[in-house]
Amino acid sequence: MITQQLKQANAKPYYKWFRSELNLTNCKVAKWLVWDPDNGDYFADIDSRRVTVPIPVCDWSFLAALHELGHVSTGFRLRHYLMEYNAESWAIKRAKESYGVYSEEYVQEAKSYVKWHLDCELKYTELTIDKVKPYVLEWIEEDVYAPVV
């Protein structure tokens, strides 16, 4: 299945674009996974600069793969919500500015994902709302923050 999807990906620009991004960020793929919109088992190892990503065959899978490169490119942060925000915003900006790829559905899902991480940190750590980066709250479109329970 992976071999078949890699062959199909070679016929589309996403794979070539992603390979360019790997070179630019000096990263390597630890493992390719067959693109499945219900699978989120992707991973970035910041120290080794290796990523486990979906084979990019569409806008969404390309953005998901870029998200993992975004972790490597933007580095480690103390807060998970901030790491996820950095990876998402890097991927969305890179895809749009460099390749003309934009998905409003992906952006909304990315905002929800960052908000979920923020909610968890506010609920389970010592993080308080006054310590949250204002630009993250603005991006997730939260004027008055009400955590999801």
The rounded Cα 111 to chain-centroid distance in angstroms is: 11
> Counting Cβ atoms within 10 Å, is residue 21 exposed (0-12), middle (13-18) or buried (19+)?
buried
pLDDT digits (tens, 9 = 90+) for 84-142: 999 999 999 999 999 999 999 999 999 999 999 999 999 999 999 999 999 999 999 87
Task: Report the residue count for the chain.
Answer: 149
pLDDT digits (tens, 9 = 90+) for 18-33: 999 999 999 999 999 9
pLDDT digits (tens, 9 = 90+) for 112-123: 999 999 999 999
Which of 58, 10, 54 has its CA nearest to residue 35?
54
Which of 123, 124, 122 has its CA nearest to residue 136?
122
Q: pTM of this prediction?
A: 0.90
